[in-house]
Amino acid sequence: ICYGYEVNTYFHGFTNDSATSAPTTLTPEELKVDKIVLLWIFTTLSSTLQARLVVECPKSAKEAWDLITDIVKDNKWSRIIALKTELRSIKLGDLSMDAYFRKIKSIATILTSLGSPVSSEDVVTFSL
C-alpha cells in the first residue's frame, strides 16, 4: 500500500544526495504528506501502542515507524520464548487428539513465522 501511494519514503527516510550529513528539509507538500502518514500510523494502531507512541511524541512518520519497529522487535523475542515454553510444556489434558496436534502445529507455525523454526523431529518429540 505504501509503495502504491508512494509514501514509503516517509517510513524509510529521505535520501540526501549531498555528501553532507545534514538532514533533508521537507517541502511544505512533503511535510503535509508526512503528517498525514503519521496520522495514519496513529489511527491504525491498537490503543496500547497508541499510548506508547503518544508518550514518545514522534515528530515524523519515520520516527513513529522506527519506534513501532523497535517495540515489535522487543516483543518478538519475548513471544518466541513464551511460545517455546508453551510448546515444551503442552499436555493433552482435556483436549481431543485433533485439538492437541492442531495446537502443536499452530505454535510451530507461529514460531516459524517469527524466524525461529521448529524441526520436524522436535515437533514429534513435543507431541510424544
User: d(Cα 87, Cα 9) in Å, to the nearest integer?
Assistant: 40
List pLDDT tens digits, range 63-104: 888 888 887 777 788 889 999 999 888 888 888 999 999 999
List pLDDT tens digits, range 21-32: 555 677 888 888
Does this model's pTM top 0.85? My answer is no
Tell me, what's the pLDDT at 124? 86
The number of C-alpha atoms within 13 Å of 15 and in the hemisphere containing its C-beta is: 2
Burial 44-58 (b: 16+ CB within 10 A, else e): ebeeebeeebeeeeb
Q: Which strand (E) or helix (H) includes residue 31?
A: helix 28-44
Tell me, what's the pLDDT at 27? 83
List pLDDT tens digits, range 96-118: 999 999 999 999 998 988 888 88
User: d(Cα 14, Cα 4) in Å, to the nearest integer?
Assistant: 17
pLDDT of 15 higher than 60: no
The residues near 43 (Cβ < 8 Å, ≥ 6 apart) are none
Tell me, what's the pLDDT at 83? 92
pLDDT of 125 higher than 80: yes
